[in-house]
Amino acid sequence: MGRRIRELRMEKGLRQAELAEILGISASYLNLIEHDRRRIGTELKSAVAVALGIEENALAAEVDGPLVDRLLSSASSVSNAAELDRVAEFTVRYPGWARHVAMQAERIALLEGRVQELSDRMTYDPTLAASLHEVISTATAIRSTASILNGEEPLDADWQARFHKNIYTDAVRLADSSDALISYLEAPEEGEVANSPVQEAEEYLLGRGFYLAELEDGSSTPADLVGSAGLSSSASSILADFAKQYVQDAARLPMVAFEKTALSGRYDIANLVAELSLPAVLVARRLASLPNGEGHPPIGLITADAAGVLSVSKHLAGVVFPRSGACPLWPLYTSLGQPGRAVRAVVALPGAPETRISCFAISQQIAGGLGDAPQMRAIMLMMVDVSPEQDAVQQIGPTCRICPREGCSARREPTVIKTVTQKRAAL
Amino acid sequence: MGKRVLLIEDEPNIIEAISFVLSRDGYTVHTHEDGETAMTKLASSQPDMVILDVMLPGRSGFDILRDIRDGVQTTDLPVLMLTAKGQAKDRELALRLGANHFITKPFSNREVRDHVREVLGE
């Protein structure tokens, strides 16, 4: 409860001394309460609730930081900033409704993206344009040929035979190209909303914990894995690339031995890279593929290109890493500015200030050479930091729009929620 | 010998059908399937009119149209563009680049023949 009181106090923009004065207690006593070193009596608990403007039972509950972030990022239609200040309270009082609202907002965003994607497809999708051109050209050929055969002017037998054959071959082509076009435009099952191919592949891999036992022991090939996964053709292509890389990694660093090494190295990638004399990106991928349920800590691995677009990534549970508009202070993006040089940082998000996330990021050139634009890829390994050493924590945000941090030089747009300064000014 | 028409189109059976219709109407029809070498064919055949598809292997019909309009000898050469139905942007671009007219696939033989007659006379 103490931590909850501290979170709510900070949300309201109150200093410890200010709240203590309202409550009629000393600031040092309030500090002990907030760090759970003193129990809080019934009467004082009621006074705290009144001072913070919340229901008393809201004090006892833990705030789901990631859920708050999800709701704030969806709050584009909420014009009353005071309501946005009460999002945390909403999640505590009505957790089921809060999750439902967040889920619906995400579904709407996905559908809107899908609509935009489909409307852009006709204009910008070269594969679709070529397929349509094939269908229309074949239909035109059939129409022109049939018109000649059906015309009033007589045709000699050779021309008749020639044109009949043309119609036959074009009809077969039209059937094939129509079938290919339909497959390309294959709609999802009724009631489902298709994720992007990357998300579809990620969901499959997440269900496997990013650990593919059959590729580790060589009992299956990437083609077998993709064939049995039952994904769409685009997602299958992405999964195939992932699986091929996985097989290469498993050959260089077999999991059976690596598990022991990772444990003894305390999962510290810098130590493991030094010990194994292997590239950091390889060790990072192996760490992210450690099998669940074997006592290994949760490990996330984000992969992005030079434009910051995420490819198949293993998100760390409880950490909202948006696919677009993420905080530019993440080490992932810092590493793109210094290829080949590792960027390490312990970060914290506003929604979960007590949770420290240890990050290791590095970028490298994966393609391109003299005369060609270099193709960069960055990876960022993420683990919850539980070390007793209190390294300096870098404060980062979820996304600028819902980030309360003030004075951030990396801010791209104003935030929709009140900062601490704004809250104090309103008191 | 009748007026010369150069048909630049990669669909073989469209070439055969349109060539048959226009030849029967008294025109001399040259054909070419590849966008990359279309200008070479144009120079050698010296047509009185060009029928030009938008989507071609090698180079697009729009690039070829630009070259035709940029050429001193060909700047006023009548060009009929063949575009796909529904691609409004293609039609707008064709006219902006100087096509005399366009017809959309799937077109009828009569449409092609009528446009050619209108430009070259019967």
Residue B44 pLDDT: 94
How far apart are the C-alpha atoms of B23 and A317, rounded to whole Å?
71
A139 contacts B106? CB cut-off 8 A: yes
A112–chain B nearest CA distance, Å: 23
Inter-chain residue contact A136 with B89, CB threshold 8 Å: no
> What pTM was computed for the model?
0.50
Alpha-carbon gap, residue A288 to A298, rounded angstroms? 8
Structure tokens at B57: 């292997």
**Res A416: pLDDT:** 60
A261 CB neighbour count, 10 Å cutoff: 16
Cβ neighbours of A124 (radius 10 Å): 10
In the predicted structure, residue B23 carries a pLDDT above the cut 90 = yes
- Of B87, B105, B110, which has the smallest distance from its Cβ to A140's Cβ? B105
Chain B: closest CA distance from residue A171 (Å): 11
The pLDDT tens digits for A260-316 are 999 999 899 999 999 999 999 999 999 999 998 778 898 999 999 988 888 999 988
- Using CB atoms within 10 A of its CB, is residue A419 exposed (0-12), middle (13-18) or buried (19+)? middle
Calpha distance B59→B21 (Å, rounded) = 27
Cβ-contact B54, B83 below 8 angstroms: yes
pLDDT given at position A191:
46
Q: What is residue A426's predicted lDDT score, i.e. its pLDDT? A: 46
How far is the C-alpha of B30 from the C-alpha of A145, rounded, in Å? 19
d(CA A143, CA B85): 15
Q: Do B20 and B114 touch, CB atoms closer than 8 A?
A: no
Quote the pLDDT of residue A330.
92
Average pLDDT, chain B: 90
Strands A343-349 and A352-367: antiparallel
Report chain B's C-alpha Rg in angstroms.
13
Residues from chain A that touch B110, judged by Cβ atoms under 8 A, are: 147
Does the bond joining B106 to the residue before it have cis omega, within 30 degrees of 0? yes
What is the distance between the alpha carbons of residues A363 and A355, in angstroms, rounded to a whole number? 25
Q: Please give the residue that has the higher pLDDT: either A154 or B49.
A: B49
> Cβ B20–A153 below 8 Å, yes or no?
no
User: Which of A124, A127, A132, A140 is the best substitution to test chain B (most B C-beta atoms within 10 A)?
Assistant: A140
Contacts of A148 in chain B (CB under 8 A): 17, 20-21, 109
Do residue B13 and residue A136 have CB atoms under 8 angstroms apart?
Answer: no
Instruction: State the Cα–Cα distance between residues A102 and A100, nearest whole angstrom.
Output: 5
ipTM here:
0.88
CB contact under 8 A, B17 and A144: yes
Q: B57, B36 in Cβ contact below 8 A?
A: yes
- What is d(CA A75, CA A109) in angstroms, rounded to the nearest whole number? 12
Chain A: residue nearest B25 by CA? A153
- DSSP conformation class of A58: G
- Residues A140/B107, Cβ–Cβ less than 8 Å: yes
3-state SS assignment for residue A101: helix
Instruction: Report CB contact under 8 Å: A145, B84.
Output: no
Q: Which helix or strand (DSSP H or E) is residue A383 part of?
A: strand A375-384
Q: Do A137 and B20 touch (CB under 8 A)?
A: no
Q: Which two tokens stand for residue A260?
A: 């022991």
Residue A183 Cα, gap to closest chain B Cα (Å): 21
Tell me, what's the pLDDT at A389? 64
Contact A133 B106 (CB under 8 A): no
Query: Measuring CA to CA, which residue among A94, A97, A73 is closest to residue A84?
Result: A73
User: Does the distance separating the beta carbons of A132 and B14 come in below 8 Å?
Assistant: no
Please report residues of A whose CB lies closer than 8 A to that of B14: 137, 140-141, 144
At residue A363, the 3 state secondary structure works out as strand
pLDDT along chain A (427 residues), means of 10: 80 87 91 82 88 78 74 67 71 84 79 68 64 85 92 89 92 84 62 69 90 91 91 90 95 94 92 94 95 86 90 84 83 93 88 78 85 86 79 79 76 66 50
Q: In 3-state terms, chain A is what percent helix, strand and coil (to 5)?
A: 55, 10, 35
For residue A123, give the chain B residue with the closest CA.
B87
